[in-house]
Amino acid sequence: MIDIDMLLAWGASYKKVDAGDTIFREGTDGHFYHQLVSGSVRWININDEGGEFIQNLIEPGESFGEFPLFDQSQYAATAVADKPSVVIRLLKSSFLQLLKENPDIHLRFTRLFVERLRFKFMILKELACFGPEHRITALFGYFKESRRNICPSCNQVKLTRQQIADMTGLRVETVIRSIRSLQEKGALSIEKGKVYC
């Protein structure tokens, strides 16, 4: 989202995290802008039984956890490193001043929020109105169109079955059965355990 040199010029610092480390927790106050430099982070809500609902999978170069920076509330989800990762963080007050002085960056955040909001609308519609196979094909279709989580050259889905379950509100067993059924219907293919759209 924001050039790393610019972030550093505004006083940002790097933070290394190990796989499984929590970067911030849902319901806590937000004091930093976070941008992933390397690694992988999942942005999740956790229910009372410890089950996860994946809000977003963050890739290097993407920001996450911005809500408290704009609305003075708390984090809406928990951020957890999936593998050793490096995050660059900028103090909230510096981030807001950076946006004031760089309206083009502010506009990019507006576009990012709209993109994420459209994704949430799509997921909510799928959860409320459709069965497992439709949910999965809609998720794959969205990712294929947005060029995320699906290889653009070979169409391999870069999500585990558990991640698909955690994004669609399904059990992993249901995802496995649905993917097999979709393969039988010719909607996707499976080669050596890998799913292709």
Q: Are residues 91 and 141 both part of a single domain? A: no
What is the structure's pLDDT at 190?
Answer: 93
Q: Are residues 97 and 147 both part of a single domain? A: no
Please say which residue of 53, 85, 102 terminates a domain. Answer: 102
What is the structure's pLDDT at 133?
Answer: 94
What is the structure's pLDDT at 1?
Answer: 81
pLDDT, mean of each 10-residue run, the chain (197 residues)? 95 98 96 96 91 91 93 94 97 96 93 89 85 92 86 90 92 95 94 90
Q: What is the CATH number of the domain that holds 39?
A: 2.60.120.10
* Three-class SS state of 58: strand
What is the structure's pLDDT at 163?
Answer: 92
| Number of domains composing the chain | 2
Q: Are residues 60 and 135 both part of a single domain? A: no
What is the structure's pLDDT at 64?
Answer: 94
Q: Are residues 141 and 90 both part of a single domain? A: no
* Three-class SS state of 81: strand
- Does pTM surpass 0.75? yes
Q: Are residues 37 and 98 both part of a single domain? A: yes
C-alpha to C-alpha distance for 174 and 21, rounded to whole angstroms: 29
Q: Are residues 145 and 97 both part of a single domain? A: no
* Three-class SS state of 194: strand
Residue that is written with structure tokens 């669609």 in the block? 168
Residue 2 CB burial class (10 angstroms; 0-12, 13-18, ≥19): buried
Q: Are residues 98 and 134 both part of a single domain? A: no
What is the structure's pLDDT at 127?
Answer: 80
* Three-class SS state of 169: coil
Identify whether 70 is part of a domain: yes
Q: Are residues 28 and 66 both part of a single domain? A: yes
What is the structure's pLDDT at 153?
Answer: 87
User: CA of 193: how far to CAs of 83, 139, 141, 172, 180, in Å?
Assistant: 22, 19, 20, 15, 11
Q: Which domain holds residue 65?
A: 4-102
Q: Are residues 80 and 24 both part of a single domain? A: yes
What is the structure's pLDDT at 25?
Answer: 96
